[in-house]
Amino acid sequence: MLAAISCGGSSPPPPAGTAPAPSSSLPEAPPPVPVRTATRLVVLGDSLTAGLGLPQDEAYPAVLGRKLKEHGYDWEVVNAGVSGDTSGDGRQRAGWALEGDVRLLVLALGANDGLRGLPVEQMKNNLQTIIDRARQRAIPVLLVGMEAPPNYGEQYAKEFRQVFVDLAHRNKVEFVPFILEGVAGLSRLNQSDGIHPTSEGAARIADHLWPAVEKMVKNDKMPKK
């Protein structure tokens, strides 16, 4: 019985008991195809972003994701909202939130700073750091403002509001002054706590943010990874 079968030529078979030499004619395995991460839009926020009290697919980032798909943009929307987060918490999370092929950051923090009456300069520094980290990765930022509750006085509310205006002007980023425009104070658009939007309210937030988001997505000029 033959110990091996020749793949061509007239060379005699090797002596019995001799292991066949490895074939040099076998095709090499193709190199692995690199997996490209999805093009991402990240929304860094608090409970308003996380969709507290709502199914995940009814929070406003999910609504933005559907809008993108409907308009032909194959982007993944990452909901990086954590209930209770202040701007300082967001600053600590910004590094990992911006991992991957992120093409746009929607920065929507500050509500809990206002609820707790935290120093406005501290909030300003935190938000500036997040913007700086995004810019280090060439990621455009959409800054979304918030209003402070009235219980800390008119002066605090004015200084709080001005933080977002100053940051938008200093960094020349796209800016939506108030995330809850058209939602705050309307009982039918808010849950029983009067703070967090219902599904309809979240859809209203997405509609409010959409013109700025669409403009920035259309202007996306980052190289594909």
Residue 38: predicted pLDDT: 84
Residue 199 · residue 166 · CB < 8 Å: no
pLDDT for 94-126, tens place per residue?
Answer: 999 999 999 999 999 999 999 999 999 999 999
Asked if 166 is an active-site residue, the reply is: no
Average pLDDT, the chain: 88
More confident residue, 2 or 63: 63
Q: Which of 21-30, 68-77, 144-153, 193-202 has the lowest mean pLDDT?
A: 21-30
Q: How far apart are CA 222 and CA 104, in angstroms?
A: 10
Those residues whose C-beta lies under 8 Å from the C-beta of residue 171, and which sit 6 or more positions away, are 128, 131, 135, 141, 143
Q: How many domains does the chain have?
A: 1
From the list 46, 87, 196, 199, the catalytic residue is 196
Q: What is the pLDDT of residue 185?
A: 95
Catalytic one of 47, 85, 87, 208: 47
Does 14 score more than 90 pLDDT?
Answer: no
Residue 83 lies in a domain: yes
Q: Residue 13 domain-assigned? A: no
pLDDT value, residue 218: 94
Tell me: pLDDT of 198 over 80: yes
Question: For position 223, what pLDDT does the model report?
Answer: 55
Residue 39 domain flag: no
Residue 180, domain member (yes or no): yes
Distance of CA 24 to the CA centre of its chain: 49
Is 125 contained in some domain? Answer: yes
Residue at 173 is within a domain: yes
**pLDDT surpasses 50 at 7:** no
- 145 CB-near residues (< 8 Å, 6+ apart): 110, 161, 164, 165, 168, 175, 176, 177, 178, 179
CATH of the domain at 162: 3.40.50.1110
Q: Which of 117, 122, 124, 115 is nearest to 107 (CA)?
A: 124
Q: Which of 11, 25, 192, 193 is catalytic?
A: 193
Distance CA 130, CA 90 (A): 8
Residues spanned by the domain of 86: 45-218
pLDDT of residue 24: 46
Percent of residues in the chain assigned helix, strand, coil, to nearest 5: 45, 10, 45
192 catalytic? Reply is no
What's phi and psi for 81, nearest 5 deg? -95, 135
Question: Is there a catalytic annotation at residue 71?
Answer: no
Answering whether pTM is above 0.85, one says no
Q: Give 140-178 pLDDT, tens digit per residue.
A: 999 999 999 999 999 999 999 999 999 999 999 999 999
